[in-house]
Amino acid sequence: MIKTADKSAELMEDIHQRYTEMGQDPLVHLEGLKYAKPITYWDYCEIDTLLSLQKPRTIVPDESVFIMYHQVNELIFKMILSEIQQIADKEDLNAHFFTERLGRINRYWGILINSFSIMKDGMETAQYLKFRTTLTPASGFQSAQYRTIEICCTPLENLVHQYFRPQLSENATLDEKLSKIYWQAAGLNFKTGEKNLTLQLFEVKYREEFLRIAHDYEHKNIWAKYIAIHPDEQKDQNLIKALRHLDEMVNIEWVMTHYHTAEKYLESDGNTTEATGGSSWKKYMHPSYQRRIFFPKLWSSEELENWGRN
């Protein structure tokens, strides 16, 4: 009994201190507690809102699978970004914390890769080919969270299109690097400078934000955080393993799973159909063409040469 009274006095003291620090009257807040509604599962998780966000454009049933799986992906991208932010903002970062948080990120990527069969095997090709025509020019290419994950993992020069990397000056600004980013190849005609609608709409909406994120993460992206920890900690084999695993999962395994799914729906008898985003996807999407590698210094020259080829 005495223990409960002590605990309750301590709690009141803490509440008093917290609200006074905010310039608020703690007694008003305590009064409010008397009338608070009990929390429920459906309110806390916003279930009604969540379940109202699926709005198919066609009468084809498998379109719901497509929409919901993309939404699940975006939620997991958000979980990944939250872990990246924790690493980025950690001041006294050490190998133990770093490895543990990378483990979480890698677990999320594992889920994304393993569940991609929902796209590849979980829809009828005939149904997909019907509803996809209503989606043009939208494409997963326009996933801003996916791009943000990339920008937060590695220095921007590692995302510059491989053909422009050798020409990049040492003083190139983040703005210049962003203009030569690898994903431009999906929608830009390098000869005429013309951009397709998918890319144009994407840039109008997000380019400024990507530039802001690139500045924000220039010195706190995953690689920058790694080279800033103590040299002895950098040698931690579990940490190196986790970084390599992340690079491989994002830039080879997910990419290949996605690529094989595109092959299933968009290629038959050697004929390739144009995707909703209008890219020359067969070439563009392959990791050996894109050669985006977050942590090139952690791979041997042979591994780099064979990137995405095995």
Binding ligand HEM (rule: CB under 6 A), the pick from 60, 63, 73, 158 is 73
Binding ligand HEM (rule: CB under 6 A), the pick from 16, 56, 58, 69 is 69
Is 309:230 a contact under the CB 8 Å cutoff? no
Token pair for 278: 């209008």
- 89-118 residues in contact with ligand HEM (CB under 6 A) are none
Determine, following the binding rule CB under 6 A, whether residue 119 of this chain makes contact with ligand HEM. Answer: yes
Determine, following the binding rule CB under 6 A, whether residue 287 of this chain makes contact with ligand HEM. Answer: no
- 162-201 residues in contact with ligand HEM (CB under 6 A) are 183, 186
Determine, following the binding rule CB under 6 A, whether residue 161 of this chain makes contact with ligand HEM. Answer: no
The CA distance from 11 to 39, in Å, is: 21
Binding ligand HEM (rule: CB under 6 A), the pick from 131, 253, 277, 308 is 277
Q: Select 113 or 168, whichever has its Cβ closest to ligand HEM.
A: 113
Of 82-90, 133-141, 161-169, 201-209, the window that binds ligand HEM (rule: CB under 6 A) is 133-141
The CB-of-302 to ligand HEM minimum distance in angstroms stands at 24
**Measured CA distances, 124 to 71, 258, 265 (Å):** 19, 17, 9
Determine, following the binding rule CB under 6 A, whether residue 143 of this chain makes contact with ligand HEM. Answer: yes
The CA distance from 64 to 28, in Å, is: 47
Of 5-13, 102-110, 220-228, 256-264, the window that binds ligand HEM (rule: CB under 6 A) is 256-264
Q: Select 88 or 252, whichever has its Cβ closest to ligand HEM.
A: 252
The CB-of-228 to ligand HEM minimum distance in angstroms stands at 29
Q: Select 131 or 226, whichever has its Cβ closest to ligand HEM.
A: 131
Binding ligand HEM (rule: CB under 6 A), the pick from 60, 99, 101, 139 is 139
What Rg, from alpha-carbon coordinates, does the chain have? Answer: 24
Residues that bind ligand HEM (CB under 6 A): 69-70, 73, 119, 139-141, 143, 146, 183, 186, 258, 261-262, 265-266, 275-279, 281, 285
